[in-house]
Every structure is written in C-alpha cells, then in structure tokens.
Structure 1
C-alpha cells in the first residue's frame, strides 16, 4: 500500500459504497446525482490510492473483489458512525443534547425554580441537568470560574463578567416559632417584635442576604440586638422550628410546611426578595439560552395565573 493510502478521501469512499451496493455505475451515478464518467474516475482513483482492485470490471455485470467486499463492510460502518456523530454534534449544537450545570441558593427550591427545572427536562429530555446548592458567594465564584453555567441567586450577583436575568420577585414574610406566633397579636408590625432574636443567613461570607435583612430592620428604626447567624436557609428554618428566633424569608418558603414554624405577613418595610439567573456574558452555549427561554415561559405563565 502506498503513502497516499494513509488517508482515504471520504467522498471517494461514499462513491465506492454507492457503486458497491448498486453493482452498476449508471445506477450509482443516478443515486448520487452525478455524471457517470467522474464517478468512474473517482472509484478508479480510490483503487489507485489503496493499491488494490476493488471492483472486477471484466464481466458484463461488475462484481466486488475480496478486497472490495471487505472495504464495503468497513466503509458502511465508518459512514454510519460519521452520520451518527454528525447528528449527535448537531443536537448538542442546537441544545437538544449535552449537559447544563445549574446551581442555586437553598431558598430557590421553593416557588418557581422547581417548575422551571421540570419544564426544561420535559422540553429537553436528552440534556443532562447537573444541579447543586450553593450560597451566593459560592455561586459567584463557580460561575465566573466556569464550574457552573447558571447561578440562581438571591440577591443577584454583581460582577462585570456576568449578565443577570430576573426570574421572580416576591414579598418577604415572617417565619416564627409556632408558640410565638400563637401568642402574637395580629397584624404584626416588624418594629414591635424587634426584641426577639433574629435568625440570619448565611453566616459567611458577608455581605449577604443577612445584611439585606438587617438593612430592612434599619429602615424600620432598629437593629436586632440579638442575632443568630446560620450557615444556610435550611439551618435557619430548623433553628426557628425549635424556638431559637424569628426570620424574614421569601414568601414562597411558606409553600412547604415545617413543624414548629408558622409563616405570616407583617407590617413594615418590605422591598421583597428577587431571584435571578446569572451567567457569564461570554457563555454562548445554546443549552443556557434554552433554559432562559423556558424560565421566561414558566414565569410568564405563572404571572398570568395570578392575574
């Protein structure tokens, strides 16, 4: 075999398969939508490249040589694999396959995000969706360092490398130990319960959602004298359930009942809590934009139901 056989021309391989399957140059040419003379020349050139005779032309009806039969079998496999690879790559390029990494703050597991994830999985079942929980600081580091594709944060992440898309805005409510809630007169004014211990989260790093809540308290004219810092939202709710203190939390949290915890509205400063989708400006992967599209569709439908 000469040096030219080191790489087989793909077009010539396709032409050979057509001739080998039709066992007729005219029918093969018609199948390929080309003229017969260039087809014959390409097959002959393939034989010259390989240094073997692939087609026995000595009879009225052509037939494959032993080498031709082996090449046909191998060529079919190569072309099938190539076609499969092209289809797979195309689906990844269109966002219908591949993987997407999404991380979120703990409180995002209530409300709209689970519906967005469910809708995305339904629309793109072949996309592997990797999910993980992080606090805002971890989210910012991970998305900037390309360890995740989308950070679902509260509040939004502030960095010039990131783009922010609003996902959902909701009011804040009080989370109280059940015993305290039953003894508290209604309506509850935030300033009237300032003597209670405020459970804030996360503990670190700062600034964080904890500082956002402290700013609300300051707007009401006080700073909680007694504060307990929890590492995350789930720990904060657990502390409230055993009577450690109270907390301001997103309204969607109340959709999941927790023994020992009562949720209620309050009177006072309530700028609400916003959930946002944060991603790198230079991330152009179609999976990300498909997720954003699904998120907008779900939140629009949700807003329509509430209207």
Structure 2
C-alpha cells in the first residue's frame, strides 16, 4: 500500500463519484479506478459498494476513511514541521519520559520549556528507559527521563534525585493503616509488576531490590502502564511497588505505605547525547536540576 492509494480512496469516498474525484485529483478516471481496485485487492476487502446510482462505502470502507484521515492529517503536520525545520524557521526538541516521572517535576519542566523559545517546538514521547537510549542516538529525542541506569558511550546520564519507593495496597488491605512495612512482610504479598515490557525496566529494578534483600515475591500480574497496575491493586489482585510521587494520583481506593528499607529507592535520571552542545539543551538541563532540587 502506498500513500497515494489512501489519498485516492479519500477523494473517491468524499466525492461519492469516481468522475468528481478524478477531476479533484487532476487524473483520468480509469487509472483512478484501477488504483482503488489495487487497494481493495491488497487489503482483501471491498471498500466501495458500486451501483449505477452512487458509490457507497462498505463498513470496512468507512473504517478506513476515518482512520486514514487521522493518518494523513498527522503526516501533513510532520511534513510542514519538516519544511519549517529545513528552512531553519523552527527547531525540534524531543523529550522522552517514563510515565512515573510525570508525578514529579517533569510536567513543570515541560511547561517551562514549551514557553522558553518561540522558535523551538518541544515534542513529547512516552517510552521506557532502554528505548530512550536508542531514540537519543538516532536523534528522535534530545532529552530523556528514566529510572534505570545503563552505560552507553554515546549517552551522558545524570541522577537528578533519588526517590523513596512505597507499597501501593488496596484501601481495605491489612497493611493500609500501617505507617510502614518491612521488605519481608511485603514479599509475602502477591505482587503486581509494571511495566511488563520492554525489558529490562523498572520492574527488573524492583525485583532486584527484593532479591538483594533475600526475598522472591510472587508476581501475580504484569501491566504495561502504571495506571493499569494501580487499578489492578485497587481491584484486589495484589500490591505494587511505586515511587513516592505516585501518591499525587490521590486515588481514594488505594493506600500507600512506606517500605522500611533504605535500599528501596528509585533514581530519576536525565539522559542526553554526549556530543549535543546546543544552548537549548543546556537550558533544559539547568532547569531540570533546579526543579528536581
């Protein structure tokens, strides 16, 4: 499938006529009909109900029209941004982040950076730490916020802060009213782990902390998203180990209990390319250090 197939299909669907669509696209009608047939053959479904009176979209055709409009609209935005960057009218600055950092200083950092320079577009990408390193080296992002330490000769990494970890438990749980919980006691609880993939990630960090303390908790469920993990805790499937800042969610069906172990902490780490000397990056790093402090 090529992009022109989608453009041609959209024109036919919107005009309700091959003739009018061909005029709009400035091509002859027979080649347009062939392109739509090729698209249907490649997808293996009929997109149009052809009759002598009018063209109608099939259910599959309506779905493709709706989804392809979103796709081509996003592509148009990317093309226009690329042109602006190529003309040096604006610069793109990409930030990658793990979801749990959004409960700390990172949202305020993003807000300030988005208003710091009218010639810089700040883009955001949710991704775990390991994909951040690959995205940095590929130039897809310029700054990453994660929680796992990896060594890479092309990437500079700084620990901005170290955050205590807490146990998230259902509100009616026996631990919910406790001021703290030992690792030994916590390890006896069924554990909801996140994120499930890609590995290694924060879940491996949590399991490593348990192993270092001499315990192996029973993992009963893995979730890809932090919010999903907290929802599963609220549903009574088990407990989860989360950064202390997650308490800002203020869920009424989950309690957070301090883990009585100095080792149960999680760093917030900023990553960037070692060869990136841009002034905007320096500004972002200084602001991140200020807000983290």
1:252 and 2:245 are equivalent in the alignment: yes
RMSD: 2.3
Q: CA deviation at 1:249?
A: 1.0
- Match for 1:201 among 191, 194, 205? 194
Deviations 1:35-71 (A, max 9, x none): xxxxxxxxxxxxxxxxxxxxxxxxxxxxxxxxxxxxx
Q: Residue 130 of structure 1 aligns to a residue in which SS?
A: strand
Match of 1:236 in 2: 229
TM-score normalized by structure 2? 0.64
1:221 and 2:178 are equivalent in the alignment: no
TM-score normalized by structure 1? 0.62
Task: Indicate how the Cα distance of structure 1 residues 99 and 258 shifts in structure 2: closer, same or farther if over 3 A, else same.
Answer: same
Q: CA deviation at 1:170?
A: 1.2
The answer to whether the 8 A contact 1:171-1:273 is kept is yes
Segments of 5+ residues of structure 1 without an aligned counterpart are 1-84
Q: Residue 107 of structure 2 aligns to a residue in which SS?
A: helix
Q: CA deviation at 1:125?
A: 4.5
Match of 1:188 in 2: 181
Task: Indicate how the Cα distance of structure 1 residues 116 and 277 shifts in structure 2: closer, same or farther if over 3 A, else same.
Answer: same
- Match for 1:211 among 204, 207, 217? 204
Q: Residue 160 of structure 1 aligns to a residue in which SS?
A: coil
1:214, 1:115 → 2: CA distance? 31
Task: Indicate how the Cα distance of structure 1 residues 182 and 123 shifts in structure 2: closer, same or farther if over 3 A, else same.
Answer: same
- Match for 1:278 among 271, 279, 282? 271
2:106, 2:160 → 1: CA distance? 8
- Match for 1:268 among 243, 261, 276? 261
Match of 1:74 in 2: none
2:174, 2:160 → 1: CA distance? 31
Q: CA deviation at 1:123?
A: 3.2
Matches within 5 A, 1:40-189: 98-180=91-173, 185-189=178-182
Equivalenced residues, count: 208
Match of 2:56 in 1: none
Q: Residue 234 of structure 1 aligns to a residue in which SS?
A: helix
Q: Residue 175 of structure 1 aligns to a residue in which SS?
A: strand
The answer to whether the 8 A contact 1:172-1:270 is kept is no
2:184, 2:244 → 1: CA distance? 19
Q: CA deviation at 1:185?
A: 4.6
Q: Residue 228 of structure 1 aligns to a residue in which SS?
A: strand
Q: Residue 179 of structure 1 aligns to a residue in which SS?
A: coil
Task: Indicate how the Cα distance of structure 1 residues 269 and 229 shifts in structure 2: closer, same or farther if over 3 A, else same.
Answer: farther
Q: CA deviation at 1:273?
A: 0.8
1:291 and 2:288 are equivalent in the alignment: no
Q: CA deviation at 1:265?
A: 0.8
The answer to whether the 8 A contact 1:102-1:149 is kept is yes
2:134, 2:186 → 1: CA distance? 36
Segments of 5+ residues of structure 2 without an aligned counterpart are 1-83
1:183, 1:282 → 2: CA distance? 48
Match of 1:46 in 2: none
